[in-house]
Amino acid sequence: MVTDASGNIKEESDYYPFGGERVVTDLGIGNNYKFTGKERDPETGCDYFGARYYCNPIGRFITPDWADTPTDVPYANFGNPQSLNLYSYVKNNPTTFGDPDGHETQATLDDQETREAGEVIAGAVKGLYNLGAGTWNFGAELLNKQGRASGQPHIELPLAPMATYDNDTQAIAAGVTQLTVVVADGIAGMKGTAAKDPAPEPYNRTEHYGNPSSSTTAKEIRANGEGQSCPNCGQTMKSGTKTAPTAEHQPTLKSHYYEKGGSKMTPAERRAYARSSKAMQKDAVCKTCQSKQGAAEAKKQYQSQ
């Protein structure tokens, strides 16, 4: 990444292990220092490592390695056949090694860092194992105890051996890993059992929805139903009788209160809803049918009650 004096990015690139460039930002500043900070020849695209040029498209140096003192295979490690290729780049292992000058292959981590990284990984693995083994042992001991107390024949569950930590680095890595797992499980559990909304207070039609039968909408529905057949029972609706036309809420106000969010509305919002045309079905029903429906609704239990 190259920035100006104000910190604005002028050029930014990511590189693949063998040096292939993935340009993120290029404002044309002409920077030629690319892969591992080496200067890239603009004509050939090869990177100058000091002793020789490296060609990233093929992952090879374009000339064989050499040494000041004549030797059959310069800088060879006969325990690693990859080092015998005089054109190869960092023994064909660019994620582990680097090449500072075109001759030598150096580990990106020194021996001490490599050992410490190994200890951290070993500790984390042992920590995960012990977490599982400890959980198993707790359950097994509990079941074994219950089985012995019952006096009945039972199978003793074996206990899992616990891994030991070879040093403080392993122990710390194990503790951090176990704590991370426990905290992550706790957070997941909290999300899964998130606090639910408190149960609403018991439904009370008058208190919660007022008297919607006096609304203009209800009056119009009743007037339009006068002398018409009830859509439920077929009887002629007539005011002043048991088949008087009445306005019907759909869904019922009790259902609206418990299942359609009515309990979360303010009293004014509920009353306005109950008196609106969207709360009532278009056609009137007779008073007898409405009474039967109201009785059935009064007995109905909703999940949030």
Whether 288 maps to a domain, the answer reads: yes
Whether 11 maps to a domain, the answer reads: yes
What was the pLDDT predicted at 305? 65
Burial class (CB in 10 A: 0-12, 13-18, 19+), 270: buried
Q: Which domain holds residue 215?
A: 205-299
Q: What does the pLDDT look like over 242-291, one tens digit per residue?
A: 999 999 999 999 999 999 999 999 999 999 999 999 999 999 999 999 99
Choosing from 192, 218, 245, the residue where a domain stops is 192
44 shares a domain with 24: yes
Q: Which residues fall within 8 angstroms of residue 231, CB to CB, at 6 or more apart?
A: 283, 285
Mean pLDDT (the chain, rounded): 89
What was the pLDDT predicted at 28? 87
Q: What does the pLDDT look like over 51-90, one tens digit per residue?
A: 999 999 999 999 999 988 888 888 887 888 888 999 999 9
Whether 145 maps to a domain, the answer reads: yes
Of residues 48, 53, 46, the one with CA closest to residue 38:
48
Whether 198 maps to a domain, the answer reads: no
274 shares a domain with 221: yes
